Structures are given as structure tokens and as C-alpha cells.
Amino acid sequence: MRQIAVIGLGNFGSTVAKELTGRGAQVIAIDEKKERIEAIKESVNYAVAADTTDEKALRAIGVQNVDVAVVCIGEDIEANLLTTILLKKIGVKKIWARAISPLQHEIIKTLAVDNIINLEEEMGHITANSLIAPNISKFISLMPGHSFMEIKVPKSFAGKSIKEISPRRKYSVNIVAVKKKKPQITGTGERTFEEYIEDVPASEEPLDAEDILLIVGKDENLEKFSKQ
């Protein structure tokens, strides 16, 4: 079982801690505010109030022994950076750190952490792409110029198969999975739909207008494909 320390329990940090616990990780949740510890202590393995800019406090908790530490501190940039530096100093194996500004991103980059979480930048990309192409439901930047997105099947592709659309040859994108809805009848006779995913989609099966495509490729190619 992986042991993960989540430091900073605002809305983002507490969500990360709860999700990790739900997925089977052993989570140590840390925040200097006792009310946040009280709010989350029943949802994680261990919750403790501590000043994470204090090396002795971190060592006393045993953070140096975790597999991954995730620094989710938001507005207090100084605390975020000092905590990250101390985690490096005490030998934490892997560190993820949140950045809320371009300058903070660049500073954290110099610390050679394993991953930088930039929520504001990611949400900016998601919002912009959703405004340009309303059928985009999820957009994740994989690296500059390349992304993963979920889109509703473009109107011109409904009823056609992946083979007919030929996304790789015509648009230079890859459809990696398809989300579909299967109709079901409840015990009371009500008609509902169960969502499932085809992670190896059949190339000759027609796509339904309500299907969701999970695709990867260059940003300009994804945008072109989504507007068909």
C-alpha cells in the first residue's frame, strides 16, 4: 500500500486526500489549521495539525518515510516553497507541488520536484477550449502542444465507424477509448442509462451521437477534429 502525505487541506488538498484514501492509499493529511484536521480526520488514515515549515515537525510525523508527498498549500506561497524545500532536504522520495502563479511555477521548477500542479493554468486551458469548442467536456495538457480530450461525437461523424472516419490518417489524432450509454429498465419499469467505456473501441462499429470520444494528439489537430 502506497503511503502518501497530503500537505495543505484547503478544498483542493482535502479532495486529493479523500480521493487517495478511497482508492486504497494510506494517507497522512497535514495542515496547520486544527479545524481542517477535525473536518477530515474520519476520511483519511491519519490527520495531524502541524507547521510544515518546521523540519522537526515534519520528521516527528514521519513524512520522510512516505512514498510521495503532495504540497497542496495554495495562497501562502512562502509556506508552500519552504515546505517543498524541507521535503527535499529530509529525503522524501517523490514530491508533487502546487503552483498558483507563473513565478511560483518557475521557482518550484528549480527545486527539481517530480511534478508541478498548476490548477489555474489547467483550468484556463479547459475553459478556453470549452468556449471555442462547446462539445469538449475534458481537456488535459500532456505537454506543450499535445493534449488529451473528451468530446461528444461531432455531428458529421454520428453513425459512422472509426474506420470510416479514419482519425489517424485524416486528422492525425488517436481515438483511445469511447464512452457509451447502455439503456436499462429498472424494477419499476423506468428506463435509465448505464455509462461504460470501450477501452479498445471496435473500428467498424458505428458511433452513436451521444457517445463520448477520448482522443489524444496535437492541439491544432484536436481542435480541427472536434469542429467536424
Residue type at position 220: E
**How far is the CA of 68 from the CAs of 59, 115, 180, in angstroms?**
15, 11, 35
Which H or E run includes 129?
A: helix 119-132
Q: What pLDDT, on the 0 to 100 scale, is given for residue 67?
A: 93
Q: Which three cell numbers stand for residue 91?
A: 529525503
pLDDT tens, 71-101?
Answer: 999 878 889 999 999 999 999 999 998 888 7
22-36, 48-62, 71-85, 194-208: the lowest-pLDDT one: 194-208
Question: pTM of this prediction?
Answer: 0.64
- Domains observed in the chain: 3-117 (3.40.50.720), 122-226 (3.30.70.1450)
Q: What pLDDT, on the 0 to 100 scale, is given for residue 131?
A: 58
Q: What pLDDT, on the 0 to 100 scale, is given for residue 49?
A: 95
pLDDT band at 4 (very low <50, low <70, confident <90, very high): very high
Average pLDDT in the 45-72 region?
94
pLDDT of residue 123 exceeding 90, the answer is no
